[in-house]
Amino acid sequence: MTIGVLHYLNAFGALLMRPFAGWYLDHRSRRSLLMFCLVGLVCLPFGYIFASSMALIALDRLLIRLLSAVATTGVTTNAYDTLNEGNFNEGVGYLGFCNSLANAIGPGLGLWLWEKHNVWGLFGAVAVASLLALLLLRKFNFREIPKEHITPFRSHPSTGLIPAALAAL
């Protein structure tokens, strides 16, 4: 039962993070949010290895899930910005296909890594994959947010977030 509750909280937390990530991507820096998430995704997998209690493992898992949700939102937003009108549908199709392919192959690959290389091999591979993404996206040309669209956090109307969260339930 406890694992089910933790899984629900992780999924629900990731769902709730997406509107905030979307607002940040539209009103702040697209590069900084994605780079922050990727740095976290490079470091946090090792938290599993050094965690001394189930509570720390659950906290590490939650942080990884939240950062993954925000990073996924950031990558998708930047892909949409990059694609031109002629290639947009094809590019979105490839993005969705690659995401589905990763979700299909990932669990089996993770189990294989765990069996062949133990915990260090599995979480090391996750950290290396995140580091590669960080290094590749470092040179990416992100769309800059115009100065007039950058708004402070306190002026953001959050009235639309409450109905969105309730609709998600």
Counting other chains too, the contacts that 6-14 makes at CB distance below 8 Å and 24 or more residues apart are 6/58, 6/61, 9/62, 10/61, 10/62, 10/65, 11/65, 13/62, 13/65, 13/66, 13/69, 14/65, 14/66, 14/68, 14/69
Amino acid identity at 13: G
Q: What is the pTM of this model?
A: 0.77
- What average pLDDT does the segment 95-103 reach? 92
Q: How far apart are CA 39 and CA 25, in angstroms?
A: 17
Q: How confident is the model at residue 133 (pLDDT cuts 50, 70, 90)?
A: confident
- The residue that leads in pLDDT, 105 or 119, is 105
Q: How confident is the model at residue 160 (pLDDT cuts 50, 70, 90)?
A: low
Residue listed under structure tokens 């290094």 = 135
Asked if pLDDT for residue 168 goes beyond 70, the answer is no
What percent of the chain shows pLDDT beyond 70?
A: 85
Residue listed under structure tokens 């992780």 = 10
What percent of the chain shows pLDDT beyond 90?
A: 20
